[in-house]
Amino acid sequence: MSKLYDTIGTSTPDQLLAKVEADPIAVNLLPGQGELKRGTVLYKDANGFYVKAGNANISTSYDLVVLNEDVDTGNDGTAVAEVAAAYREGTFIDGKVKYNNSGTMAPVTAAHKVVLRLFGIKFNQSVESAGTFQNGPALITYKANNGASPAEADVVIETARGGSYTVLNNTDSKLGFTAPATKAFSKWNTKADGSGTDYAAAASYTANADLTLYAVWA
């Protein structure tokens, strides 16, 4: 998986996941709507306030945005909504952007997405049927583990989550770890004391999770 989903939604996959390259904008919310959740589609009403969009509002007749933060506008109608960060441009994940369907927030449909794309709101991946959604790249951390003195810094490499990753040799140009005196590189292990899982250089790893590898010198 690409780096598209690095930041937003890492620990809250039920909420919106979005590319963070688009600049957020501020919108005036109609007071008294209660709590508006991140990922809500909003439209600008005749008075210039943004309101939860219903099915009929997701059209080119309205100015549309997608909310990028949870906002409580007040339930009593007297609270004055300040502004909320929203995206008019950005890449989103299907099923995480919602519209008001007769009082129930529902995922936008394929027809809605066509309209939203015209506003620069693009959809990248469908996860409605997925279980736990893993976002962002997998991080492979290499540790010299008492290599040559002075201690060599850790090296962190990003790889596509879910893809196949080839474990590096300690002499790879991305690492360049140096063996301690009288010792040579033997393998990698998931624990510093070598009691974890072994990984040989050039071994294949399915990157479904982050992995930390300690050099084992023998």
Q: For residue 53, what pLDDT is reported?
A: 97
Write down which residue in 126, 150, 166 finishes a domain. Answer: 126
Neighbours of 218 (CB within 10 A): 9
Q: State whether 100 and 62 are in the same domain.
A: yes
Average of per-residue pLDDT across 33-37: 87
Write down which residue in 79, 98, 126 finishes a domain. Answer: 126
Q: Residue 172 sits in which domain range?
A: 138-217
Write down which residue in 126, 157, 187 finishes a domain. Answer: 126
- Examine residue 131 and state whether it is found in any structural domain, yes or no: no
Q: For residue 49, what pLDDT is reported?
A: 92
Greatest mean pLDDT range, 67-71, 72-76, 82-86, 127-131: 67-71
Q: What would the pLDDT profile of 44-80 be if each residue is shown by its tens digit? A: 999 999 999 999 999 999 999 999 888 888 765 555 6
Ranking 27-31, 89-93, 182-186, 193-197 by mean pLDDT, the lowest is: 89-93
Q: State whether 90 and 147 are in the same domain.
A: no
Q: State whether 120 and 142 are in the same domain.
A: no
- Examine residue 176 and state whether it is found in any structural domain, yes or no: yes
Ranking 9-23, 71-85, 101-115, 195-209 by mean pLDDT, the lowest is: 9-23
Q: State whether 23 and 95 are in the same domain.
A: yes
Q: Which residues pair with 205 in a beta bridge?
A: 165
Q: State whether 36 and 117 are in the same domain.
A: yes
CA-CA distance, 134 to 127, in Å (whole number)? 10
Average of per-residue pLDDT across 27-39: 88
Q: State whether 26 and 76 are in the same domain.
A: yes
Q: How many independent structural domains does the chain possess?
A: 2
Q: State whether 53 and 96 are in the same domain.
A: yes
- Examine residue 193 and state whether it is found in any structural domain, yes or no: yes
Amino acid at 22: A
Q: State whether 145 and 118 are in the same domain.
A: no
- Examine residue 59 and state whether it is found in any structural domain, yes or no: yes
- Examine residue 132 and state whether it is found in any structural domain, yes or no: no
Average of per-residue pLDDT across 152-160: 85
Amino acid at 187: K
Q: State whether 107 and 152 are in the same domain.
A: no
Q: For residue 95, what pLDDT is reported?
A: 74
Tokens 């890492």 belong to which residue? 10
CA-CA distance, 34 to 61, in Å (whole number)? 25
Q: What is the CATH number of the domain that holds 70?
A: 2.40.300
Q: For residue 43, what pLDDT is reported?
A: 97
Q: State whether 145 and 205 are in the same domain.
A: yes
Q: What would the pLDDT profile of 192-216 be if each residue is shown by its tens digit? A: 999 999 999 999 998 878 899 999 9
Q: For residue 5, what pLDDT is reported?
A: 45
Q: For residue 182, what pLDDT is reported?
A: 87
Q: State whether 96 and 186 are in the same domain.
A: no
pTM above 0.85, yes or no: no
Who contacts 8 (Cβ-Cβ below 8 Å, separation ≥6)?
15, 16, 17, 18, 20, 68
Q: State whether 8 and 109 are in the same domain.
A: yes
